[in-house]
Amino acid sequence: MDAEPRECVSERPARRRRVDWRQWAPLTLLTVAGLVGAGLWLAGLRGVAQLIWAAVTVVALVPTTWATLRQLWRRQFGVDVIAVLALLGTLLTREYLAGAVIAVMVATGQALENYAERRASRDLRALLERAPRRARRRTADGSIEVVPLDQVSVGDRLVVGPGDVVPVDGTVEEPATLDESVVTGESRLVTRAAGEQVASGVVNAGAGFGLRARKSAAESTYAGIVRLAEEATARKAPMVRLADRYAAAFVPFTLVVAGVAWALSGQFLRAVAVLVVATPCPLLLATPIAIVSGLSRVARRGVLVRDGGSLELLGRARTLLMDKTGTLTAGRPRAAETVVAPGGDRNEVLRLAASVEQLSPHVLAAALVRQAREQGLRLQEPTDVTEEPGRGVTGRVAGRLVRVGQLAGEPPDWAHRVRERAELAGRSTVWVSDDRAPLGAILLEDPVRPDARRTVRRLRESGLNRLVMVTGDRPRTAQQVAQTVGVDDVIAECSPQQKVDRVKEESGRAVTVMVGDGVNDAPALAEAHVGVAMGATGATASADVADAVLTVDRLDRLADAVEIARYARRIAVQSATVGMGLAVVAMVAAAAGGLPPVAGAFLQEGIDVLVIVNALRALRGGLRRQDVPPETRELLDRYAGEHHGVRDVLDRLRDTADLVATRPDAPECVPALREVHRRLVDEVLPHEAAEERHLYPAVAGLLGSAEATSTMSRGHVEIGRLVDRIGGHLAQHLDGRLRHDEVPDLLAALYGLDAVLRLHLAQEEEDYFSLNPEEGPAAGR
């Protein structure tokens, strides 16, 4: 790396560690004044004490009245009018001690509200504080200049120094170690290889690296997150609809009780006592504290919700509509299988295709190149590359002509079988040919996310009782995904307008959430009660209209958000209900003359403290998912990574089975069987044995008991039995030829092992590897 200027490009402010006493000054002064008055009262100076208490009451009354008048001017009728009437009533009846207690109570509530909101919204503020302002850009002469962020353009070559925030979405030019917690919510460091894409907002936790800008600052991931954070911070308490609904009934009820008490007894003091005990801090404070706490917690889980009203709606949702691509599936194709012509080499076919596709911007080309690099294949620079839209790419690799795309001419018999297999499996086919004939085909699929089925189960457990998948894909493909993840209904070949119509229909029955990631999902997201965008994929159009954005590319974070939203709403309702219930009991006692204003003020103070402390519980709890210990995470990552090698053996196993099925007399049959059996014994069985010894005991605790892994252990036994069965057949063939009478049993063992092992891998990835807070290596394959 070139030398870099050592200034703080991201301009992150230092975190303040000292208490801001200005926030607590009003409460401190009023409390001290009240205590001084109490001391003077005990000393016999009752007139002076009364004067001090009256002053304390006036000091609280003036700003509270002003705030209430401003609300009334904006045609907002809130519960704080009761506090104003209570303070005014104590002055008129000369119950100055009760007024002072109410004043301290109001100041205490405001201080607790400020403290709780600062604590609850600190994650949102942290996003704003971390926003980069400038970037280091390489110039034409090789030097580095520091420029304002809005001057960065697509294609610029930037330098990200140690500790810097990545300023724009881009592609790393060399390996980089990153802290992505601010965007994903996960604290683990990740390593990105050269050529991988990174999102703006993540922090460079290693050495400096080069970055090629993919988007401008305004269009990058972090800019959208900051916009949402600003909206969420600006719209906290005023948007809490729950408190407004309670206030609409509670304020008139309080005024009626106070009026009746005054009318029946003829004592204005009883009306004042009713107003004193009805001072509604449970509504003024407890409900917003619980909701804002929920906003903070979902932000830490990688979900940004625009406001408290959206969070409350999320907590009441009963129906969920999900787009398939990018939501339930990975959203990007992967090479699921490579099929070659008889006698061909799978790795060579993939290597040739990926070499030619290196210069293509097509999404399928990226999938081929990524797959080849994951397998460690050495790609060569192609020459004479031409691309015909809709047809494919042609180029030369080491002088050899290679075509990648559609198949020209009449396909051979083996190619017909490949087409049928791809159609049945719902996969796309990319043909690889030379100047003579097709060399092979690469079958591409958009895989279901490993955590999708577990997430669907968690969404049901959180209270969403109707789950619908909407997609523009073909019915066969859509139905396969729907059956895999376990949704209630599926709508295939669905246009954007049909998605909107379906959202309207479902919204008429229950509070509805819509999740999508593409530009075509934006209208449906806007129509739903709560629209959720998969913002990590960069779909800014859908994110701009959504009520919430998943800043990490994981659907299970939505389940976290729903659980937190329900918990925060439950705490808010509980705090408001208990607080008002106790207040009503006290109001009845005060109306009957059994609770004078001073005693009522102290009682109400205790009620307020109780409900506010209860509301702060929303900062913790409510999540069903267990935290995964670091050592278990390492095991999950390790064995998820090994699945790639197992799948490679599986491909060889399937090719060998096809060879035995179609040409059992071919001289290469037995050698192919011996090679695949060797790899099964040397690679697959040790992997399964290590999982049995190390991984399964580690995840058993997370799943509840050792019984939770018993069926998977039985799968290990069956895999070993089938491998031994294949080995038994090979032991009888020293002459290197197969007998026709044993072919059926051998095929049963080969195809049976293929099916059992594929199912076993899928179950492990769904049930075990999805426990990992970050997607394991197997997730993208």
Q: From the candidates 123, 164, 323, 556, which is the catalytic residue?
A: 323
Calpha distance 211→198 (Å, rounded): 9
| Range list of H helices, 426-528 | 452-461, 475-485, 496-507, 522-527
Whether the CB-CB separation of 9 and 134 falls below 8 Å is answered with: yes
What are the DSSP calls for 249-264, one per residue?
A: HHHHHHHHHHHHHHHH
Residue 546 CA to residue 527 CA, distance in Å, equals 10
Q: Where are the beta strands (DSSP E) in 155-200?
A: 157-160, 170-172, 176-179, 189-192, 197-198
SS (H, E, C) 531-542: EEECHHHCCHHH
CA atoms within 13 A on the CB side of 441: 20
Residue type, 2: D
E strand or H helix at 441, and its extent? strand 438-445
Query: Which amino acid appears at position 183 of this protein?
Result: V
What does the alpha-carbon distance between residue 446 and residue 84 come to, in Å, rounded to a whole number? 62
Distance of alpha carbon 662 from alpha carbon 416, whole angstroms: 14
- Cα–Cα dist 223/150, whole Å: 11
Tracing tokens 């709890």 back to the chain, one arrives at 621
The SS3 call for residue 184 is helix
Spatial distance between the Cα atoms of 150 and 156, rounded to a whole number of angstroms: 12
Measured from the Cβ of residue 578, the count of other Cβ atoms closer than 10 Å reads 16
Residue 356 CB contacts under 8 Å (≥ 6 apart), including other chains: 382, 385, 393, 394, 395, 397, 402, 404
**Which among 419, 348, 357, 364 is positioned nearest to 386, based on CA atoms?**
357
Cβ partners under 8 Å of residue 278, min gap 6: 82, 86, 250, 254, 257, 258, 583, 586, 587, 604
The candidate with the shortest Cα–Cα distance to 442, out of 481, 409, 403, is: 403
Helix (H) or strand (E) holding 702: helix 696-703
Q: Determine the Cα–Cα distance for residues 262 and 201; give it in Å rounded to an integer.
A: 61
Backbone dihedral angles phi then psi of residue 438, each to the nearest 5 degrees: -65, 135
Place of tokens 């060797």: 678
Q: Which residue has the tokens 């001090």?
A: 52
Q: Please say if 2 is a catalytic residue.
A: no
Contact (CB, 8 A) for 119 and 71: no
**Nearest CA among 171, 152, 168 for reference residue 210:** 171
Residue 111 DSSP code: H
Q: What angle do CA 626, 631, 633 make, to 5 degrees?
A: 60
β-bridge partners, 177: 191
Strand partners, 213: 170
Neighbours of 630 (CB within 10 A): 9
CA–CA separation, 601 and 90 (whole Å) = 11
Q: How many CB atoms lie within 10 A of CB 663?
A: 12
Q: Please tell me the distance from the alpha carbon of residue 591 to that of residue 258, in angstroms, as a whole number.
A: 7
Within 497-621, strands assigned E span 512-516, 530-533, 548-550
Place of tokens 């049928």: 420
CA neighbor of 153 nearest in space, from 173, 167, 142, 133? 167
- The position carrying tokens 């729907």 is 482
Annotated catalytic sites, by residue? 323
